[in-house]
Structure 1
Amino acid sequence: MNEPVGGPQQAPLRTADVARESGYSVQQVRDLERLGVIPPATRSSNGYRSYAPPHVNALRAYRGLAGAVGPVVARQLLAELRTATITEAASAINEVHVRLAREREEALRAQQALHAIRAEADTPEWEQDSERDSDAMTITELSRALGVRPSTLRFWEQEGLVTPERVTSLRARRYDLPAIRTARIVTALRSAGYGVPAVREIVASLRQLDGAEEAQRVLRERLDRIALRTVGLLHAGADLAAVVTAAAAQEPAAVRSVPAPVSAEEPGRPSPNSRTGTASSL
């Protein structure tokens, strides 16, 4: 884990110094300053930029955040951390950890659903019917369980990814256990960045060996990426703390709300790169 840079009496840093300490190029430091990742550098009488250790801490914190939640959200979060109270800042950082834990749980449940689908072929039909009746969900219940909007489930139905039953005279949607399991797998695949055509192909072949193996491979990769993002966030911990404490040392800021995480739901979900961009992305 990186140590916070320097102390209050350290001499001003040049752009090249900041680049070396943060692991970015000189041009990237300038670009990230322009994007608001770090506060504007002071300018000397001859126009040269002059930085301080908090700039380095902010850049290194951004590297870990960008790997964990994507560059767009990382920029928004760092801007908020510089003006938030200690309580608000701690809550915002904790939310990133919670989000990663939620994504990991989602992928693990999708793995369990995949194993259940594979085992279902060996289950007597009457037992399957009993399970379906006892564990069925409405569209509202399933959307809450998956953390998606009902409109997302309707979109998936339209695209042939998850097919509910229609019951009652109002033709209400009812998701039996196989549909719930498929929905969990679709949720994980879509969160991993797979497009609708690719997900449709995997779902269509889930009960075949090749389809199940492909889904299992995707879910393993999803869990590995979440683990790497979590480690990146841990590496950013000391620098995030330095950013927060530096902000707290300034004049008290007006209380304001930290923006909610960018939604990953359909329709109109953002590109996967906007959520999971690497540290090299600006």
Structure 2
Amino acid sequence: MPENPQTGRRLRPVDLARAHGLSTQAVRNYEEAGILPPADRTAHGYRVYTPLHAQALRVFLALLPGHGHATATAIMRAVHAGDADGAYGLIDDSHVQLLDDRRTLRAVAGALRELAPEPGADAAASPGATFIGPLARRLGVRPATLRAWERAGLVRPRRDPATGYRVFDAADVRDARLARQLRRGGHPLERIAPLIEQVRTAGGVAPLEATLADWRARLTARGRAMLAGAAELSAYLDARG
């Protein structure tokens, strides 16, 4: 089979696989999924790859850390279908998600900073313990809002055995204050609930500093990975012409 002057020497599936620690079956699967462009076949039916296929594989693997498997696959499929605008749109969507995650992180960090003990709180007698009405007034929300937060799992007040009234202890007050701050930032209940659960699991706000630092580091790594993936994709698009 003559070599294509644009794509260069012929490569076997094992050549692509070894370069990236993959199996040859994984390389074939990537081709079938549209991650690699279609390969030519020899007279005996063996796949013949080129440096362009190797470059496509590098692009996909570079896109993975920033976009995830599903989106990286969709980007490569769009490129090989000649739909560059579709590929750009998928990349834009990932950047929007990253920006949203950064805003959530800032909101959580800001909300946690505001959870310092409230001035004038009497820590001597049952610190933070209160009923729904006084807590609602303290937070500037309606009692019905606190009941909605309870149904969503944001607060978990106990019931007074004699009266059946909700009793919010210090941890419940902390969770309610955190919920209020995040709701003010426009975050829906279903996104707030797991964050508050993290506070409960950590045993308070202070232990979450390491969690926030790790979260911030992962977002930074994702942003850097998106830049690296974009550079590889740009070079690949130029090579395809």
Contact persistence 2:12–2:49 (CA under 8 A): yes
Q: Deviations over 1:155-176 (max 9, x none)?
A: 975341269xxxxxxxxxxxx9
Name the aligned partner's letter for residue 180 of structure 2: I
Alpha-carbon distance between aligned partners in 1 of 2:34 and 2:148, rounded to the nearest angstrom: 36
Name the aligned partner's letter for residue 211 of structure 2: V
Partner of 2:118: 122
Of 22, 35, 38, 1:37 maps to 35
Distance change >3 Å, CA 28–CA 205, structure 1 → 2: closer
Contact persistence 1:109–1:184 (CA under 8 A): no
Corresponding residue SS for 1:122: coil
Of 46, 52, 55, 1:54 maps to 52
C-alpha deviation, 1:203, in angstroms? 4.1
Corresponding residue SS for 1:70: helix
Name the aligned partner's letter for residue 25 of structure 1: S
Partner of 1:179: 179
**RMSD between aligned residues:** 4.0
Contact persistence 2:35–2:56 (CA under 8 A): yes
Q: Deviations over 1:51-79 (max 9, x none)?
A: 12232222222222221222122212221
If the length of structure 2 is used for normalisation, what is the TM-score?
A: 0.64
> Given the alignment of the two structures, is residue 226 of structure 1 paired with residue 224 of structure 2, yes or no?
no
Partner of 2:72: 74
Contact persistence 2:31–2:37 (CA under 8 A): yes
Q: Deviations over 1:118-177 (max 9, x none)?
A: x2x13357xx999954xx79xxxxxxxxxxxxxxxx9975341269xxxxxxxxxxxx96
Q: Give matches, 1:238-277, under 5 Å.
A: 238-245=231-238, 249=241
Larger Rg: 2
Distance change >3 Å, CA 84–CA 211, structure 1 → 2: farther
If the length of structure 1 is used for normalisation, what is the TM-score?
A: 0.56
Partner of 2:92: 94
Alpha-carbon distance between aligned partners in 1 of 2:195 and 2:96, rounded to the nearest angstrom: 26
> Given the alignment of the two structures, is residue 202 of structure 1 paired with residue 195 of structure 2, yes or no?
no
Q: Which runs of 5+ in 1 are unaligned?
A: 1-6, 138-153, 164-175, 250-282
Corresponding residue SS for 2:74: helix
Corresponding residue SS for 1:220: helix
Distance change >3 Å, CA 203–CA 50, structure 1 → 2: same
Distance change >3 Å, CA 162–CA 51, structure 1 → 2: farther
Name the aligned partner's letter for residue 75 of structure 1: T
Which fold has the larger relative contact order, with Cα–Cα distance below 8 Å and residues 6 or more apart in sequence?
1
Contact persistence 1:89–1:244 (CA under 8 A): no
Partner of 1:18: 16
Alpha-carbon distance between aligned partners in 2 of 1:79 and 1:99, rounded to the nearest angstrom: 21
Alpha-carbon distance between aligned partners in 2 of 1:59 and 1:184, rounded to the nearest angstrom: 44
Partner of 1:236: 229
Percent identity of equivalent pairs: 28
Partner of 1:265: none
Partner of 2:124: none
Q: Which runs of 5+ in 2 are unaligned?
A: 122-134, 157-175
